Chain A
Amino acid sequence: MDMLGKYKTCVAARSTSSEILKSSQDGGIVTQMFIYALEEGIIDGAIVAGPGDEPWKPKPMVATTPEEILAARGTRYNISPNMAVIKESVRKYGLDKVGIVGTPCQMQALRKAQLYPVGMRYVTDKIALAMGIFCMENFSYQSMKQIVEDHCNVDLHSLKKTDIGKGKYWAYTNRGAVSQIPLKVTHKYEQPGCHVCLDYVANMGDISTGSVGSPDGWSTVFVRSTNGDNIWKKAVEAGVFEVKAIDSVKPGLDLVTKLATEKITKNQKELEHRAKMGVNKGLRNPYI
């Protein structure tokens, strides 16, 4: 199986704007891309995971200004149903060229809607830029709360950033403290739906990005579709990104491939297991 999906180029990159990098998760690729595309008229708005009603609870929103896009920076390790506002973006907001960021499953939902637009009238021809983000697994809000508050011992209100990396779950506070717990503690909190997911690096994005493979503060970027390629080239030419060849950075693509393979093999096994879950019957497999 093809672990990294189809792509034209893969690089390590980061935004050249220190303002963006101040609170972006990694290289600020998503935020920079959307702000650039908005200013160039490539999109007229973007669906992002905006701030929600409770700390670190994302709320899908249609951002139509750079300020709104900036406010959505950073990874929230719990579910943000970004596809839920896709209709709103072209109705109430009247967008003609929609940008959207999402995990691999959300990119799949988007592409499926474009091919089979059930209840998606006048939506799918208006998708102008799909930014995929890598994703190993996700959590419910309750799970995240439990992990951060009980296991990491950090109040969600003081949390500045969370990150999953090097086998650990990291919580950084506004006042400079760092907690980390082994990832295996978090496994029981994962949302069960993630265990049948066979995509790590957002194979369906126009462009997909994540942290793995590149040094801290940098992102690994796959440029996949022709549309993504055109926009990426223009953005690089405009000088909004600093770019390095992926084989010039550590740990590079090998680690990405390794993690992708682990995710896919593990979840493939889970699918096989579910097929034989009952006595002479199994659970549904959405892939067949």
Chain B
Amino acid sequence: MSKVVEISPTTRHEGHSKLVLKVNDEGIIERGDWISITPVRGLEKLCIGKTMHQAPKISSRVCGICPIAHTLAGIGAMEASIGCEIPQDAYLLRLILQCANKLHSIALHDILALPDMYIPGTETKINPFTAEEPVRTVAKRIQRLREIGQTIGEIAGGEPVHPSNPRVGGMYYNISPQAKQKLFDLAKEALPMAIAQMDFMNAVFKNFEKRETVTVGKTTVDMPKEFGYHNQGYMAVDSIFQSSSLDFDPKWDPNRWTDVTPWDWYMGECEVSLEDPDYPIGGTSKIGTKAWPQMQACTSIPLYDGQPVEVGPRARMVTFKNFDHKGAMGQNIAREMEYPDCLYTIIDALDALDCNGSVLADEIPQGDGSLGWNANEAPRGTDVHLAKVKDGRVQMYNLLVPTTWNFPTCSRALEGAPWQLAEVIVRAYDPCVSCATHMLVVDENKKIIAQKLVQ
């Protein structure tokens, strides 16, 4: 007889979500629903009628961890709609900003992921806040990597959180030679640290994957062989940056995308029948609690070729670098492997950057209502923004953000794992639930069939 257990809220990721899990007598997940319960903020709706300059600045506020992705995808979508090509040096500054943000985001996720893990060869779980070695050195390294990521973003992008420098048509300013040198020095400093950090994290993740058992709270569970595996596909448009409908050879196709409502995808009404007051910290939901994922989920379900897909570092690695490590730890390892790329790209872009180059297009068309899109490879995966701009105003704006793509995929990946480890699988997706929550649902003909607005 299967039982239902609910973890609400989930922790150590961005935003507000919960897990509703149907488990068998051994506590193994038969069907899992991971859903957003972050209130819908309705940004796509409220951007309609606003200027093309303002809308991306609003969508930046969707999330403070990856605002770069939303700013750049938003501006990129506006530029794609109006048909505006930006100068090379603006492109390079955006690329630097993109990589700087990814650097900080990976480092931040390290802090969130580490407490699930063990110091290799020991039974000691890692507490990133401990003053003891070897963890202290790692924690300090993470902080410095984040600091460097944010500082590079601050200089190239104007602000590390909600970048002010990007604008429709390019950037507001280029940087001085002195600032360029500072960025170069910082990237040089970070490179060996990032490589050391990657090596450390990957040793930790591989160690976890090889364990026989894992302890969560007071319970010890067996580590499944195929931890976090799923059979969904992958979607990625670039190994680092972006693709847009302005490209000669666009890497994403709006015709392959459809949405379904949570109603079509998630479980119906159910009642919690299993409870563990020792689940750290504060226990699971009480027996008798009603859960209704179909109704409670605050995201739409985007499909590519009719299927949920995985997006993120592994999807990029699989698509562009023949990566083949599956499961939750494969996802974590792929993310770590992006560390050096961020810094090599920043260094190359700085080499190419001309501090005296113009960073604003000579002409910025006002748009005729054509559809344009930009897909940004955000830290957590493909962030597609679609827009129609006419006379400088937004007529349509739609966001398909990484964690929205990952919600249904990750739900499938929960199957076969002990429910106590469900959150470890979720965290491997580095979820950003605020990002994921803002809902419009469209059918095959891109007609809006459902929307949920701020109550």
Chain A 70-118 residues near chain B, CB threshold 8 A: 87-88, 90-96
A37–B321 CA distance with the chains assembled, in angstroms: 51
- Are B176 and A94 in contact, CB atoms less than 8 angstroms apart? yes
Query: What sequence of 0s and 1s flags, for each residue 148-161 of chain B, a beta carbon within 8 Å of any chain A beta carbon?
Result: 00110011001111
- Are A94 and B175 in contact, CB atoms less than 8 angstroms apart? yes
Question: Whose C-beta in chain B lies nearest to the C-beta of A122?
Answer: B154
Interface status of B178 (Cβ within 8 A of chain A)? yes
Question: Whose C-beta in chain A lies nearest to the C-beta of B159?
Answer: A121
Question: Whose C-beta in chain A lies nearest to the C-beta of B186?
Answer: A94
- Are B151 and A92 in contact, CB atoms less than 8 angstroms apart? no
A147–B181 CA distance with the chains assembled, in angstroms: 46
> When the two chains form the complex, which single residue of A44, A93, A94, A122 contacts B183, counting CB atoms closer than 8 Å?
A94
Q: Which residues of chain A come closer than 8 Å to B176, judged between CB atoms?
A: 64, 92-94
A96–B160 CA distance with the chains assembled, in angstroms: 16
Question: Whose C-beta in chain A lies nearest to the C-beta of B161?
Answer: A121
Q: Which residues of chain B come closer than 8 Å to A93, judged between CB atoms?
A: 175-176, 178-179
Q: By CB atoms of chain A within 10 A, which of B159, B174, B178, B183 has the most? A: B178
A96–B182 CA distance with the chains assembled, in angstroms: 10
Chain A 213-232 residues near chain B, CB threshold 8 A: none
Question: Whose C-beta in chain A lies nearest to the C-beta of B158?
Answer: A91
- Are A64 and B158 in contact, CB atoms less than 8 angstroms apart? no
- Are B182 and A92 in contact, CB atoms less than 8 angstroms apart? no
Interface status of B173 (Cβ within 8 A of chain A)? yes
Q: Which residues of chain B come closer than 8 Å to A88, judged between CB atoms?
A: 173
Q: By CB atoms of chain B within 10 A, which of A44, A64, A122 has the most? A: A122
Q: Which residues of chain A come closer than 8 Å to B173, judged between CB atoms?
A: 88, 92
Q: Which residues of chain A come closer than 8 Å to B165, judged between CB atoms?
A: 91
- Are B155 and A91 in contact, CB atoms less than 8 angstroms apart? yes
A94–B355 CA distance with the chains assembled, in angstroms: 13
Q: Which residues of chain B come closer than 8 Å to A92, judged between CB atoms?
A: 155, 158, 173-176, 179
Question: Whose C-beta in chain B lies nearest to the C-beta of A119?
Answer: B159
Q: Which residues of chain A come closer than 8 Å to B178, judged between CB atoms?
A: 44-45, 64, 93-95
Q: A64-B176, A64-B178 are in contact. Are A94 and B155 (CB under 8 A)?
A: yes
* Shortest Cβ distance from residue B85 to the other chain A in the assembled complex, whole angstroms: 23
Question: Whose C-beta in chain A lies nearest to the C-beta of B178?
Answer: A94
A99–B117 CA distance with the chains assembled, in angstroms: 47
Q: Which residues of chain B come closer than 8 Å to A96, judged between CB atoms?
A: 182
- Are A94 and B182 in contact, CB atoms less than 8 angstroms apart? yes
Q: Which residues of chain A come closer than 8 Å to B174, judged between CB atoms?
A: 92
Q: By CB atoms of chain B within 10 A, which of A44, A90, A94, A95 has the most? A: A94
Q: Which residues of chain A come closer than 8 Å to B151, judged between CB atoms?
A: 122
A121–B174 CA distance with the chains assembled, in angstroms: 20
Q: Which residues of chain A come closer than 8 Å to B159, judged between CB atoms?
A: 91, 121
A128–B154 CA distance with the chains assembled, in angstroms: 20
Question: Whose C-beta in chain B lies nearest to the C-beta of A62?
Answer: B176
Q: By CB atoms of chain B within 10 A, which of A44, A91, A93 has the most? A: A91
* Shortest Cβ distance from residue B391 to the other chain A in the assembled complex, whole angstroms: 31
* Shortest Cβ distance from residue A44 to the other chain B in the assembled complex, whole angstroms: 7
Chain A 96-155 residues near chain B, CB threshold 8 A: 96, 121-122
Q: Which residues of chain B come closer than 8 Å to A91, judged between CB atoms?
A: 154-155, 158-159, 165, 175, 179
Chain B 131-168 residues near chain A, CB threshold 8 A: 150-151, 154-155, 158-161, 165
* Shortest Cβ distance from residue A12 to the other chain B in the assembled complex, whole angstroms: 36
* Shortest Cβ distance from residue A81 to the other chain B in the assembled complex, whole angstroms: 17
Question: Whose C-beta in chain A lies nearest to the C-beta of B185?
Answer: A94
A90–B176 CA distance with the chains assembled, in angstroms: 11
Chain B 13-66 residues near chain A, CB threshold 8 A: none
A91–B176 CA distance with the chains assembled, in angstroms: 9
Chain A 49-76 residues near chain B, CB threshold 8 A: 64
A49–B182 CA distance with the chains assembled, in angstroms: 25
A44–B161 CA distance with the chains assembled, in angstroms: 25
Question: Whose C-beta in chain B lies nearest to the C-beta of A45?
Answer: B178
* Shortest Cβ distance from residue A45 to the other chain B in the assembled complex, whole angstroms: 8
* Shortest Cβ distance from residue B417 to the other chain A in the assembled complex, whole angstroms: 40
Q: Which residues of chain B come closer than 8 Å to A45, judged between CB atoms?
A: 178
Q: Which residues of chain A come closer than 8 Å to B181, judged between CB atoms?
A: 94
* Shortest Cβ distance from residue B170 to the other chain A in the assembled complex, whole angstroms: 14
* Shortest Cβ distance from residue B172 to the other chain A in the assembled complex, whole angstroms: 9
* Shortest Cβ distance from residue A66 to the other chain B in the assembled complex, whole angstroms: 15
A84–B183 CA distance with the chains assembled, in angstroms: 23
* Shortest Cβ distance from residue B355 to the other chain A in the assembled complex, whole angstroms: 10
A94–B173 CA distance with the chains assembled, in angstroms: 13
Q: By CB atoms of chain B within 10 A, which of A45, A87, A90, A93 has the most? A: A93
Chain B 177-198 residues near chain A, CB threshold 8 A: 178-183
Question: Whose C-beta in chain B lies nearest to the C-beta of A96?
Answer: B182
Chain B 97-121 residues near chain A, CB threshold 8 A: none
A121–B153 CA distance with the chains assembled, in angstroms: 12
Question: Whose C-beta in chain B lies nearest to the C-beta of A64?
Answer: B178
Question: Whose C-beta in chain A lies nearest to the C-beta of B173?
Answer: A92
A241–B176 CA distance with the chains assembled, in angstroms: 32
Q: Which residues of chain A come closer than 8 Å to B158, judged between CB atoms?
A: 87, 91-92
A44–B178 CA distance with the chains assembled, in angstroms: 10
Question: Whose C-beta in chain B lies nearest to the C-beta of A123?
Answer: B154
* Shortest Cβ distance from residue B72 to the other chain A in the assembled complex, whole angstroms: 17
Q: Which residues of chain A come closer than 8 Å to B150, judged between CB atoms?
A: 122
Q: By CB atoms of chain A within 10 A, which of B158, B174, B183 has the most? A: B158
* Shortest Cβ distance from residue A19 to the other chain B in the assembled complex, whole angstroms: 25
Chain B 61-99 residues near chain A, CB threshold 8 A: none
A129–B179 CA distance with the chains assembled, in angstroms: 20
A189–B159 CA distance with the chains assembled, in angstroms: 38
Question: Whose C-beta in chain A lies nearest to the C-beta of B179?
Answer: A94
Query: What sequence of 0s and 1s flags, for each residue 238-259 of chain A, a beta carbon within 8 Å of any chain B beta carbon?
Result: 0000000000000000000000
A211–B165 CA distance with the chains assembled, in angstroms: 40
A267–B178 CA distance with the chains assembled, in angstroms: 44
A90–B160 CA distance with the chains assembled, in angstroms: 13
Q: Which residues of chain B come closer than 8 Å to A95, judged between CB atoms?
A: 178
A14–B342 CA distance with the chains assembled, in angstroms: 51
Query: What sequence of 0s and 1s flags, for each residue 183-226 of chain A, a beta carbon within 8 Å of any chain B beta carbon?
Result: 00000000000000000000000000000000000000000000
A64–B178 CA distance with the chains assembled, in angstroms: 9
Query: What sequence of 0s and 1s flags, for each residue 229-273 of chain B, a beta carbon within 8 Å of any chain A beta carbon?
Result: 000000000000000000000000000000000000000000000
A95–B155 CA distance with the chains assembled, in angstroms: 10
A96–B135 CA distance with the chains assembled, in angstroms: 30
Q: Which residues of chain B come closer than 8 Å to A64, judged between CB atoms?
A: 176, 178
Give me the 4 closest cross-chain CB pairs, A-B, nearest first: A94-B179, A94-B182, A93-B176, A92-B173
* A-B contact list, 21 entries, CB within 8 Å: A87-B158, A90-B154, A90-B155, A91-B154, A91-B155, A91-B165, A91-B175, A91-B179, A92-B173, A92-B174, A92-B175, A92-B179, A93-B178, A94-B155, A94-B175, A94-B176, A94-B180, A94-B181, A121-B154, A121-B161, A122-B154
